[in-house]
Amino acid sequence: MEEAVGRAFALYQQGRPEESGRLCRAILTASPDQPAAAFLLGVVEFSLGRQEDSRRHFALAVALQPDLADAFGNLALLERHARPRLAAALIRRALRLQPDALLFTRLGTLLRDERRGGEALEAHRRALALQPDKAEAWRESAHTLRAAKRLAQAAQGYDHAHRLVPERTESLCDRLFASLSICDWRTHEETCRQLLDVIDHDRGVVLPLLSLLIGTSTAQQDRAARRFHREAVGPIPPAAAPRRPLPPGGRLNIAYLSADFHDHATAHLTAELFELHDRARFSIFGYSYGEDDGSPMRRRLEAGFDRFRDLRQADPGTVAAICAEDGIHILVDLKGYTQNARLTLLSRRLAPIQVAYLGYPGPLGAELLDYAIGDRIVTPPEHQPFYRERLVRMPDSYQVNDRRRPTGAPMPTRAACGLPVEGVVFCAFHAAFKIAPDLFALWMRILRRVPAGTLWLLDAGSDATANLRMEAERHGVEPARLVFAAPRPQAEHLARYRLADLALDSFPYTGHTTTSDALWMGTPVLTMQGGTFASSVAASLLHAAGLPETVTGSVAEYEERALQLAGQPATLAGFRRRLEAGRSTSPLFDSPRFTRHLERAFQTMWDRHAAGLPPEAFTVDPS
């Protein structure tokens, strides 16, 4: 039997898993008490995507040999999404049998995801004590430090991981993101140059979301996404679209898939959309694999769908079965390559039509989805060669908005917000990672030319504040002219916009929810339109809000327009009146109009599918 198991293992190593699996099954039929054969069969089934069979055979292996630490570790891998606490218990059992750096690292990752940061860091410490030269242990430890907002230490951990294995360029990306998040730009220019070279010469992985922050073209973003998908998800096995015919007069079943159905920016934009869908023509499902934070927004979302499913405990096979049970015709992914995305779900072909919308502003680089929702500004026809998805252009902006955004919170005083009583207030309430050194230098030039001006930023922590004040002084601007806004509940945060004279947009990753928040509250936004989805979002929103005058096309134009507007309070007041009136009239905030257009897009997609035609780019006609 030992020789037969050796042959099965050799077949697996030769890339012949089906033959290896058949031999393992034959061994177990002849001699059911062979733990090595059961273990190898579990490995084979896992490699073939048969998770339930894999789980069964690893369980058999530990039943036959209770001290088989690797089997407990592999069972934990299978349970990590659906039952993370069980996975942690399995790893601890494996560690009692055999202390191992990889298992301590996996335990730290599981504990981090369970928000048990102190225990997670202790697990990482023990992993590094056992194997201090293991790059992945350093990287996972740094992830946990980042989750704990210890970003300077996280950046050091990522740097150590990259130095150990320079070809693992993901660690270089992580270091850049952590450094950007505290506005530490000491190595920014050189790191961006290195990552652009990685993309252009296909020398490694550049995280797709990070690629949007470093001045890439749409073609470069596509290359980065394709390489990332190959490495992170692997090749997609051919999967035919499930057949789900629509009976005459039947309703299309639309499922929205996300990890962000809680108090999150995506939810703040989309909540009303789910409520407004025409129930005579569509049944609307919410598929959530993110946290339930117990917030009023979570409860509103649950009520806004015809059926809301919590998929946190569901593996890909179970999710596919649920889609079949619900008869989903069109599945809309709201995540893309953003935090907590479960990238393997979409490769299962969960619905006849799969659509990318809202979450990720760029190409996905894989044959995962049939369509991507954009508009004439963010996804013009010339972008189609760089998207595997067919581009659907909405007639106004691609971004939906919620008219129940709060507007009634009392406006605070300038003094209460730490702002000077007089002078122009420029606000830039962006996440710190969107502030690159070139952009900050532009803002500092504006402040130097508007001597009574103040730049109002979000407080991103003491490290970021100290670094920004240091940079301001280096640019010849008094650090006290930077004021930092502490986190506040949504209603209070939105009320602060009324104190700002002009919002300064970020670049190349422009404001999304940040921009529509400002426009909703009547604050004009100055943006610079670029040539990619992410660098054009604010321009799309401003056109749909009826304020194209504040869209610029270059750094010089942005700077001069900021100077001009700072000296024209009457013009800014006129813009504010226009935006406030547009809350009830502009296409950007006409949620029923947007919903009708999106439903028209869904119907067009389905009509093509029902006619046996492949996906094709199209523009939605306006109402």
Contacts for 158 with CB less than 8 Å, ≥ 6 apart: 138, 139, 142, 171, 172, 174, 175, 178
Q: Three-state SS for 289?
A: coil
Give ranges for CATH 3.40.50.2000 in the chain.
415-582
Give the C-alpha separation, 357 to 219, whole Å.
Answer: 20
Return the closest-CA partner of residue 198 out of 218, 175, 177, 173: 173
Contacts for 529 with CB less than 8 Å, ≥ 6 apart: 377, 535, 536, 538, 539, 551, 552, 553
Tell me the mean pLDDT in the region 194-202. 98
Confidence check: pLDDT of 316 > 90? no
pLDDT of residue 314: 87
CATH topology of domain 128-232: 1.25.40
pLDDT digits (tens, 9 = 90+) for 129-162: 999 999 999 999 999 999 999 999 999 999 999 9
Give the C-alpha separation, 588 to 395, whole Å.
Answer: 11
Helix (H) or strand (E) holding 47: helix 35-47
Give the C-alpha separation, 177 to 184, whole Å.
Answer: 10
Type of residue found at 457: L
Tell me the mean pLDDT in the region 443-463. 98
Tell me the mean pLDDT in the region 420-441. 98
pLDDT of residue 238: 57
pLDDT band at 232 (very low <50, low <70, confident <90, very high): confident
pLDDT of residue 45: 94
Confidence check: pLDDT of 218 > 80? yes
pLDDT digits (tens, 9 = 90+) for 57-88: 999 999 999 999 999 999 999 988 778 899 99
Tell me the mean pLDDT in the region 194-214. 98
pLDDT digits (tens, 9 = 90+) for 466-475: 999 999 999 9
Return the closest-CA partner of residue 138 out of 91, 174, 113: 174
Going 121 to 126 to 129 to 134, the CA torsion angle's sign is: negative
Give ranges for CATH 3.40.50.11380 in the chain.
252-394
Tell me the mean pLDDT in the region 346-359. 94
Annotate 383-399 with DSSP letters as a single string: GGGG-SSEEEEESS-S-
Which superfamily does 415-582 belong to?
Glycogen Phosphorylase B; (3.40.50.2000)
pLDDT digits (tens, 9 = 90+) for 100-114: 999 999 999 999 989
State the average pLDDT for the chain: 96
Contact 490, 402 (CB under 8 A): no
CATH topology of domain 252-394: Rossmann fold (3.40.50)
Q: Is the peptide bond before 17 cis (omega within 30 degrees of 0)?
A: no
pLDDT band at 516 (very low <50, low <70, confident <90, very high): very high
Helix (H) or strand (E) holding 188: helix 188-200
Helices (H), 233-305: 265-276, 296-304
Residue 324's CB is within 10 A of a number of other CB atoms, namely 13
Say whether domain 1-98 belongs to CATH 2.30.40.10: no
Contact 427, 566 (CB under 8 A): no
Q: Secondary structure of the chain: what % helix, strand, coil (to 5)? A: 55, 10, 35
pLDDT of residue 51: 86
Give ranges for CATH 1.25.40.10 in the chain.
1-98, 128-232
Tell me the mean pLDDT in the region 533-553. 98
Confidence check: pLDDT of 311 > 60? yes
353 vs 113 pLDDT, higher one: 353
Of 222-236, 252-266, 326-340, 543-557, the least confident: 222-236
pLDDT digits (tens, 9 = 90+) for 518-538: 999 999 999 999 999 999 999
Tell me the mean pLDDT in the region 480-484. 98
346 vs 263 pLDDT, higher one: 263
